[in-house]
Amino acid sequence: MQPHVTRALQDWHAAWTVHERAAQLAMSTAFPALESMAPPTGCCHPRMAWERDGEGSGTMCLDDHGRATIEFEDVPKAALGAAMKEIFGPDWFDEGEGGFAMAEPGNYSYSDESTYAEYEFDVHKDGTVGFTIGYVKIEDIVVILDALETALAETRAGGTPGAAT
C-alpha cells in the first residue's frame, strides 16, 4: 500500500476509535451500570455488560457501522413501561391504553423502516421483560438508556416509575 494511503487509513482508524470510545462514554453516562468488557467479547467490540439485583442484566455492543444493540433480561416491566411512555408515548406497540407497563405477557416487536432499528420485547408473567433493541443510532440508544435509568432510579427510591410524567 502506498505510504500516503496507509497514513490515511491509520488516521481513519484513530478517528473511529475515538468515535467508539465517545459512544461508550455516552451510553455509560446515561446508564451507569454498563461496564466495558475486555476482549474477546463474543460478538463485537466494543461490548459492555451490566447486572443489578432486582433490576436485570444485559449487554450492549457497538457494531462496525456505529449502531448499538442492547439485550437486556429481567428488567421490571413498570420501569421499562415508564421509560417507553416517556420516549414514545402510550400505545406504541398497540399494547393497550395503559401503555407498555400494562402490557399482557407476550411478545411485542417493531421494526423502524426509516432507521432500520428493531425492537423486540418479551413480557413475562413475573412482571419482568427481556428485550432486544438492535441497530439503533447512538443518540437514540442513549435517550432510551437514560429514560430507563431514570425509571429504575425512581423505583430504587421507593417511587412509582414515571409517576411525575
Task: Report pLDDT for 93.
Answer: 66
Task: Report pLDDT for 94.
Answer: 63
75: cell is 428488567
Task: Report pLDDT for 165.
Answer: 54
Task: Report pLDDT for 90.
Answer: 73
**DSSP for 59-118, written as a single string:** EEEE-TTSEEEEEEEEEEHHHHHHHHHHHH-TTTTS--TT-GGGPPSEEEEEE-TTT--E
pTM: 0.89
pLDDT along the chain (165 residues), means of 10: 95 93 95 87 78 96 90 95 86 68 88 90 95 94 96 89 68
Task: Report pLDDT for 41.
Answer: 56
Task: Report pLDDT for 40.
Answer: 63
Task: Report pLDDT for 79.
Answer: 94
Tell me whether residue 56 is exposed, middle or buried, using C-beta atoms within 10 angstroms of its C-beta: 0 to 12, 13 to 18, 19 or more. buried
Task: Report pLDDT for 136.
Answer: 94
Q: Edge-to-edge strands of the sheet including 67-76?
A: 35-36, 47-52, 56-62, 67-76, 128-137, 118-123, 106-111
Task: Report pLDDT for 95.
Answer: 61
